[in-house]
Structure 1
Amino acid sequence: MADASPRTDTSTDDTDEKNQRFERGQTNAIVASDSSDRSKDKTDQKTLRRLAQNREAARKSRLRKKAYVQQLESSRLKLTQLEQELQRARQQGIFISSSGDQSHSMSGNGALAFDVEYARWLEEHNRQINELRAAVNSHAGDTELRTIVDNVTAHFDDIFRLKGIAAKADVFHVLSGMWKTPAERCFLWIGGFRSSELLKLLANQLEPLTEQQFMGIHNLQQSSQQAEDALSQGMEALQQSLAETLTNGSPGPSGSSGNVANYMGQMAMAMGKLGTLEGFVRQADNLRQQTLQQMHRILTTRQSARALLAINDYFSRLRALSSLWLARPRE
């Protein structure tokens, strides 16, 4: 009995220590659980914030897309209205006659008359290009393909003829290129395209070329470049001469007869120099026309067809780029 008491006390102490360890384990588990819950809550909050940000970004994207679509639709409606106005102008007789001597056939506003005729020319040009593309894709025979190519080339002659008439009525309208889209005007040179630059763009489209064809295209590009440089220098000289004419002259007393005579003399000289602008437009268009004709002679019929399609695609993309630019979303 005396030996049993110490063992009992030891057993009791062991039991208490085990209970304490168990309680500490439970406490640690609870703390760890709380920490895990807090970490999970933080993760959930980050996820929720991210989802909210994604939803907001998606909402803004939908709004921008909706605005862009609305602007495209607005541009389409404006284009439709313009076409209707052009149609009304045709019905009212404000157009260039398609036959006979046209030097005096413009009625009303010369610029409007030319814009109407250009729209008509472009419509017919697109129809011919579609016919040419269908013939190329269906591997039409050389005879049929040559007929279509000749028609497209001849149709280019029409626009050069119409521009010559328009330059007599309003040379500044032709030079400004307001009858073209904004992107086309960005590359305008004396009322049209640069033949040398167009030949550079076509180089990759026309391969494979024979050595003789390659040299022919290269020489044509070089000669076109030289002619363009000469015309550009002439335009610069004209502008300089015109500026000097308008700034020269001795100022006299206001309203004096001498001052009025001097002013009228300056204006007469300036008007005479402006008259040469029409000649520059005509020479530039002659260069463009001759370049297309010589290119046609250098290439085979199928190569000429591909070249005409490439030229049309280039200008079509410029017009499409203008439409997209005007309809772009604005913040």
Structure 2
Amino acid sequence: MPDRSPRTDTSTDVDPEDKNQRFDRDQSGAVVMFSDSSDRSKEKSLDQKTLRRLAQNREAARKSRLRKKAYVQQLESSRLKLTQLEQEVQQARPQGGSTSTAGDQSHATGALAFDVEYARWLEEQNRQINELRAAVSSHASDTELQTVVGNVTAHFDEVFKLKGAAAKADVFHILSGMWKTPAERCFMWIGGFRSSEILKLLTNQLEPLTEQQLAGIYNLQQSSQQAEDALSQGMEALQQSLSETLANGSSSTSGSSGNVANYMGQMAMAMGKLGTLESFLRQADNLRQQTLQQMHRILTTRQSARALLAIHDYFSRLRALSSLWVARPRE
């Protein structure tokens, strides 16, 4: 007779696709399947996704920093290219015309030429400062460090020569500080920096100083402050005198030869007073130059190197602040 009793398949044959799974029997004899390898593979897959996401985030942050740095550099490069382009346009214009037009072009060309030369001076200063920073970091000998410090100091003398030559062509351009960034112009005094303020900045940067050095820096700061006050008073007196000269003839009526002669006399007097502006600028630059030279005599070679780095970093931050202000998002 055929066996009609129900059959219970208790085979434990494993499908090839499930070869990574583990089987066992429970207390009732049923087959129990474990998928440890599957769980491990899922965990491994999650870990790989997390690592990949973190790597992508780091790469995105790195690219963002590079884009920001490139944008700031592009702003500086564009400013220099614009200055050079304006100079080329001025040089390409015809030289004919009235005397006043020729004078205006001469002043404009002198100002643009100074801007280009100053940009080159600033680029060379950055190179020398990097060399000085490397020498300080590598603990170079005093002889080597003195050579680098001397080069940076001599380079400062060059900018005073450039300003003196440019002031002869257009003293207003130098005094107004249009060759500097907006943030630098906020702290300008007679076409440059205040020596007394720079000395205040360095006092905290150069510690520790000996008592003799502290006394020397203090005396230098006081003498610089007194000279600055005297020049500031002279500038105020000049402005007041110039204002009075121009206001004296404002109520006269035009038309008669006497009024014309009076007008021309007043303009000649005003022009003579304006001519002293160049003298004030020259005295202010001499004060700045002498202050730097005297500072190096008070400090040691390594202290002088640190002082030059601190001065450069201060003005670099002002220039960077101007770039960030220009590039700020606007609503």
With normalisation by structure 1, the TM-score equals 0.71
On the 8 A contact 2:216/2:298 being kept in 1, the answer is yes
On the 8 A contact 2:184/2:319 being kept in 1, the answer is yes
What is residue 113 of structure 2 aligned with on the other side?
Answer: 113
What is residue 291 of structure 1 aligned with on the other side?
Answer: 291
Q: Match of 1:191, SS?
A: coil
What is residue 302 of structure 1 aligned with on the other side?
Answer: 302
What is residue 81 of structure 2 aligned with on the other side?
Answer: 84
On the 8 A contact 1:183/1:318 being kept in 2, the answer is yes
Shift of 1:73: 6.9
Shift of 1:108: 6.6
Which structure 1 residue ranges, 4+ long, deviate > 2 Å from structure 2?
69-94, 249-254
Q: Match of 2:170, SS?
A: helix
What is residue 245 of structure 2 aligned with on the other side?
Answer: 245
Matches within 5 A, 1:118-157: 118-157=118-157
Shift of 1:329: 1.3
Paired letter, 1:256: S
| Alpha-carbon displacement from aligned partner over 1:289-315 (angstroms, at most 9, x marks no partner) | 000000000000000000000000000
Shift of 1:256: 1.3
Shift of 1:76: 4.8
Shift of 1:77: 4.0
Computing the radius of gyration over CA atoms, which structure comes out larger, 1 or 2?
1
Matches within 5 A, 1:1-331: 76-86=73-83, 109-249=109-249, 251-331=251-331
Q: Match of 1:109, SS?
A: helix
Paired letter, 2:172: F
RMSD between aligned residues? 2.5
On the 8 A contact 1:190/1:284 being kept in 2, the answer is yes
User: d(CA) in 1 for partners of 2:112 and 2:251?
Assistant: 39
Relative to structure 1, the CA distance from residue 191 to residue 296 in structure 2 (aligned partners, 3 Å threshold; closer, same or farther) is same
User: d(CA) in 2 for partners of 1:138 and 1:91?
Assistant: 43
Relative to structure 1, the CA distance from residue 294 to residue 93 in structure 2 (aligned partners, 3 Å threshold; closer, same or farther) is farther
User: d(CA) in 1 for partners of 2:247 and 2:84?
Assistant: 45
Q: Match of 2:295, SS?
A: helix
On the 8 A contact 1:252/1:258 being kept in 2, the answer is no
Q: 320-329 or 219-228: which moved more?
A: 320-329
Q: Match of 2:209, SS?
A: coil
On the 8 A contact 1:89/1:116 being kept in 2, the answer is no
Relative to structure 1, the CA distance from residue 84 to residue 254 in structure 2 (aligned partners, 3 Å threshold; closer, same or farther) is closer
Q: Match of 2:239, SS?
A: helix
Relative to structure 1, the CA distance from residue 302 to residue 250 in structure 2 (aligned partners, 3 Å threshold; closer, same or farther) is closer
Shift of 1:330: 1.3
Paired letter, 2:236: E
Paired letter, 2:127: R
| Alpha-carbon displacement from aligned partner over 1:27-81 (angstroms, at most 9, x marks no partner) | xxxxxxxxxxxxxxxxxxxxxxxxxxxxxxxxxxxxxxxxxx9998766544333
What is residue 44 of structure 2 aligned with on the other side?
Answer: none
Shift of 1:84: 2.9
Q: What are the ranges of 5 or more consecutive residues in structure 2 without an aligned counterpart?
A: 1-65, 92-105
With normalisation by structure 2, the TM-score equals 0.71
Q: Match of 2:180, SS?
A: coil
Shift of 1:242: 0.2
User: d(CA) in 2 for partners of 1:323 and 1:312?
Assistant: 17
Paired letter, 1:123: E
Q: Match of 1:266, SS?
A: helix
Relative to structure 1, the CA distance from residue 88 to residue 234 in structure 2 (aligned partners, 3 Å threshold; closer, same or farther) is same
| Alpha-carbon displacement from aligned partner over 1:144-165 (angstroms, at most 9, x marks no partner) | 0000000100100000011011
User: d(CA) in 2 for partners of 1:154 and 1:119?
Assistant: 17
User: d(CA) in 1 for partners of 2:126 and 2:250?
Assistant: 56
Q: What are the ranges of 5 or more consecutive residues in structure 1 without an aligned counterpart?
A: 1-68, 95-105
Paired letter, 1:177: G
Paired letter, 1:136: V
User: d(CA) in 2 for partners of 1:253 and 1:230?
Assistant: 39
Relative to structure 1, the CA distance from residue 266 to residue 330 in structure 2 (aligned partners, 3 Å threshold; closer, same or farther) is same
Shift of 1:127: 0.4
Shift of 1:275: 0.1
User: d(CA) in 2 for partners of 1:329 and 1:88?
Assistant: 28
| Alpha-carbon displacement from aligned partner over 1:149-200 (angstroms, at most 9, x marks no partner) | 0010010000001101111110000000000000000000000000000000
Q: Match of 1:222, SS?
A: helix
User: d(CA) in 2 for partners of 1:215 and 1:245?
Assistant: 45
Residue identity over aligned pairs, in percent, reads: 78
Q: Match of 1:208, SS?
A: coil
Of structures 1 and 2, the one scoring higher in RCO (CA 8 A, sep 6+) is 1
**Higher helix proportion (structure 1 or 2):** 1
